[in-house]
Structures are given as structure tokens and as C-alpha cells.
Chains A and B, each alone.
Chain A
Amino acid sequence: MVMRKLVVVAVVSFSAGLVVASFAGFREFIPGLLEGALVTIQITLAGAVVAVVCATVAGLAKMYAPWPLRWLAIAYIELFRGTSALVQLFWLFFVLPLFGITLQPMTVAIAALGLNIGAYGAEVVRGAVAAVPRGQWEATVALNMSRTQALRRIILPQAFVAMIPPWGNLFIELLKSTALVSLITISDLAFRAQQMNQTTFRTLEIFTIVLVIYLAIASIITVGMKALEQKAAGALARGRSH
């Protein structure tokens, strides 16, 4: 399955590369688009950090926190999963200034996308923690561990391995949703593409190159998460055999 997927990725990348290389004068677009890609990558990375933090806090709060916090976590998850990412982005961008909170567009982008993906991630965290066998909890009680100790040393390390594949999907979702930030004036890859399109009208070349760049970043995420998964699974197996 994994091999098949890698073959597919290789085929796609190769043919996409051929298509791009066949464009006459495609070089002139590359520097500007790569600058845009850098912004896209920055937002993806920062958004991923926000998302992981929000997801862990909200996911654990939904399971273990006292009721006011639990309700807060549920409200956050439902609110951000129930509305569009674009609406959230616009809300933070246009409405927050009316409350006297003016944020940089970049901050808005990272916060909105991070919170959005974090809400989906919270369910991933909850699912992974819930999937740790009950016996593990019972064993921590038998060993007289506190709940925090049990979570930190026994439960979360096992849940972590199960979380990696769904997080990989979410990071790709995050990468794809960064294209939205072009609509709040951030000059990311999508924004650059539109700008160049309006000045040069070389639509086919520009948008194809942009799609290929997104694909390349997504492939890096896929490969990276796969490597992380193998490493984490290996580490867990070693820990168990001791």
C-alpha cells in the first residue's frame, strides 16, 4: 500500500515536472512564486504549532477537565468545526478590529487556520487517547501513579503513535487552507499567482506551476510524517520490550 502510494507520488511528480519544464520562459515566474511559497510554508508551520497545541489542550480538556473547561472545549470544537475556515478568517480579520483588537494579517492567518485545524485535531487527540487499552489505565492505578503521571508517561506516548497518520492528513488540509489567506491580502503563493496572472495573463503556466509547488510541499509532509510514524512506532516497540 505504502509502496503503491510512493510510486503514485513519484509518477505524479515526474510528469508534473515534465509539464512545467516544457513551458517556454517559465523561469521568469519561478522566483516570485517561490517567495510566495516561502510565506505559505511559514504559515503552514506556525499554523501547525498552534493547531497541535489547541488540539492537545481541547482534546484532553474534553475528556478530563472539570465541567466549565470541558464545556468550553466542546464549544470551541463545535464552533470551529461547524463553520467555514474562510468565514472564521474573515471574522477575525474584519470583526475583531471593531472590538478594538487589530492584529497583523499574518497573525490573523496563523491564528484562524491554527484554531480551525486544532478543532479537528482535538477529535484526533481524543480518539487516540480513548483507543489506548483500558488495561493500561488499570496498570497505572496498580502502580499508584497520579492521573497526570499516567497520562504523561503511559497513555500519551502510546496515543501519540496512533495520532501521527491523521495528523499528517490534517497538516495537508492546513497547507491547502493556507491558500485562503491570499483573500486577506497576505502575499502567499496563491496571492502571487493571482497577481502575476493579472499582469502577464499567462494563466495556464502560472497556475500549473503553483499547483505543482503545492503538490511538492504536500509530498514532503506525507514523506516526513511517514518517517516520523516509523520512528515513533519503533521507539514505542523498544520501550515495550524493555
Chain B
Amino acid sequence: MLWDWSYAFEILPILAQASLVTVQATLLGFVLALILGLVFALLRMARAPWIALPVSAFVEFIRSTPLLIQIFFLYFVFPEFGVSLDAFTAGVIALGLHYGTYCAEVYRAGLDNVPRGQWEASTALNLSPFHTFRDIIIPQAIPPVVPALGNYFVALFKETPLLSAIAVLELMQQAKILGSTTFRYIEPITLVGLFFLVFSLVAAALIRMVERRLNRIGAR
């Protein structure tokens, strides 16, 4: 018998515990990505080229290099500058930064889709740039791009196993440890795969639901 049910049930609670770390990293990373993404998107819109150009360059750089190396970079290089991050923090920051650059593009699409007249109206009403953004532009720019942001949420979730490379005790790392102690890899790794599949499918269904609800609000 290749698949050992009793072993699978034995390791299930251990993996469930580790999955909490995975979920934590996902949520924290995504909150960071949402914030950083908005910052990048707004800075890229800046009229002064000495702001917009370096930010664009930075975003392009992060987008075209592997997340794994960025995780290593944060974890191994930052201590040289006197900033020691523990593995979990380094991993979350790397995830947030990497996906922040993806979210920036999504936000930009949303911001570009706000009609010009809205900006002109805000100027006519003598609103400050801050109020224009907070009360006029952002509320119109964000809802249409929520589904796209949701896709990146699922994508970020699926990247969390990379944290196992710097020994964060998340799902994949726990599975590897279980595998190396018992020499049975089939159950832990398959269970991890199943966990990701179920979570992704549920998340995709949720995103579709949110999308439908937002469309209904938009139509009203």
C-alpha cells in the first residue's frame, strides 16, 4: 500500500498547525502588498520625472527578478546593514514588496479608468489633492479592480512555500521535516498540495462572488 491513511491522519494536525503560519504570512503579506502597491501607483503618476522614473525603474526591477532571490536578499543582505530581520518578517516583507509591484499595475489600470472630468470637477470644487484622491478618485478606482487584486491574493498565497527556503516553519517546511524524519514524502507533500488546491478553489469562488456583488452595486 503506497498511501498510508493512518500516517496521513497522524500528520494532519501538525500540518494544520503549520498552515496557520502560511495563512498569517499570506494575510500580512497581502496587506503590505495592497499598501505598497497604492504607494507605487501614486508615485508613478507623479508629474516630476525624478520621482516617477526611479519608482518605475524599481517596480520593473522587482517584477523581473525571482521572488526567491529577493527573499534571500532581505534575509541575508540586510543584516550587513545592521537590520536583522527574523525569517518570518523577511519573508512577509519580500512577499509584500514583490506583489506590491504587481498590485501597483492593477491600481494604475483602475486610476487610469477614472474619467478626466472627475479630476476637473474636483479642481472646480477647490478640493485639495489629498481630498480629491481620498473622496473622489480612490472610491471610483478601486472597486473595478478588486477581482484582479483577488487573483494576486491567490497568487501570493501560492508563493508562500518559498518561505521554507529560509526555514520559516510554514506548511511546506513542516512537510519537508516530516518527510525527512519518517522518509515518507508521499502523504505530507500530497496533503500540502491538496490544501493549496482547496484553498485556491475556495478563494477563486469567493472572488467571483465579490465580483458579482460589486457589479450589482456598480449597476445601481
Write the residues of chain A forming the contact surface with B, with a CB cutoff of 8 angstroms.
4-5, 7-9, 11-12, 15-16, 78-79, 81-88, 90-91, 94-95, 98-99, 172, 175-180, 182-183, 190, 193-194, 197, 203-204, 207-208, 210-211, 214-215, 218-219, 222
Do A178 and B66 form a contact, CB below 8 Å, given A83-B200, A86-B161?
yes
Contacts of B182 in A (CB 8 A): none
CB pair A211 B73 closer than 8 Å = yes
CB pair B197 A214 closer than 8 Å = no
CB pair B60 A182 closer than 8 Å = no
Q: How far is the CA of A219 from the CA of B165 in the complex (A)?
A: 26
Write the residues of chain B forming the contact surface with A, with a CB cutoff of 8 angstroms.
2, 53, 56-57, 60-61, 63-70, 72-73, 76-77, 80, 158-162, 164-165, 172, 175-176, 179, 185-186, 189-190, 192-193, 196-197, 200-201
Question: Within the complex, what minimum Cβ distance (angstroms) separates A89 from chain B?
Answer: 9
CB pair B69 A207 closer than 8 Å = yes
Contacts of B77 in A (CB 8 A): 203-204, 207-208
Contacts of A194 in B (CB 8 A): 72
Contact check: which of B63, B70, B158 meets A83 at CB < 8 Å? B158
Q: How far is the CA of A84 from the CA of B195 in the complex (A)?
A: 10
Question: Within the complex, what minimum Cβ distance (angstroms) separates A23 from chain B?
Answer: 13
Do A82 and B65 form a contact, CB below 8 Å, given A87-B172, A95-B186, A204-B77?
no
CB pair B69 A214 closer than 8 Å = yes
Contact check: which of B61, B69, B176, B193 meets A91 at CB < 8 Å? B193
Do A85 and B158 form a contact, CB below 8 Å, given A172-B64, A176-B67, A210-B69?
yes
CB pair A87 B161 closer than 8 Å = yes
The residue of chain A having its C-beta at the shortest distance from the C-beta of B175 within the complex is A90
Contact check: which of B73, B176, B186 meets A98 at CB < 8 Å? B186
Q: How far is the CA of A11 from the CA of B60 in the complex (A)?
A: 11
CB pair A82 B197 closer than 8 Å = yes
Question: Within the complex, what minimum Cβ distance (angstroms) separates B181 from chain A?
Answer: 14
Contact check: which of A16, A95, A175 meets B189 at CB < 8 Å? A95
CB pair A214 B165 closer than 8 Å = no
Contact check: which of B73, B162, B186 meets A86 at CB < 8 Å? B162
Question: Within the complex, what minimum Cβ distance (angstroms) separates A192 from chain B?
Answer: 11
CB pair A12 B68 closer than 8 Å = no
Contacts of B179 in A (CB 8 A): 94
Do A182 and B186 form a contact, CB below 8 Å, given A86-B161, A207-B76?
no
Q: How far is the CA of A138 from the CA of B162 in the complex (A)?
A: 48
Q: How far is the CA of A172 from the CA of B69 in the complex (A)?
A: 15
Contacts of B190 in A (CB 8 A): 91, 95
CB pair A11 B161 closer than 8 Å = no
CB pair A203 B76 closer than 8 Å = yes
CB pair A90 B172 closer than 8 Å = yes
Do A211 and B69 form a contact, CB below 8 Å, given A8-B57, A98-B185?
yes
Task: Please name 28 pairs of A and B residues whose Cβ atoms are closer than 8 Å in the assembled complex, sorted by A.
Answer: A11-B53, A12-B61, A82-B201, A83-B197, A84-B158, A84-B159, A84-B161, A84-B193, A84-B196, A85-B158, A87-B193, A87-B196, A90-B189, A94-B186, A94-B189, A95-B186, A98-B2, A98-B186, A190-B66, A190-B72, A197-B72, A203-B77, A204-B80, A207-B76, A208-B73, A210-B69, A215-B64, A215-B65
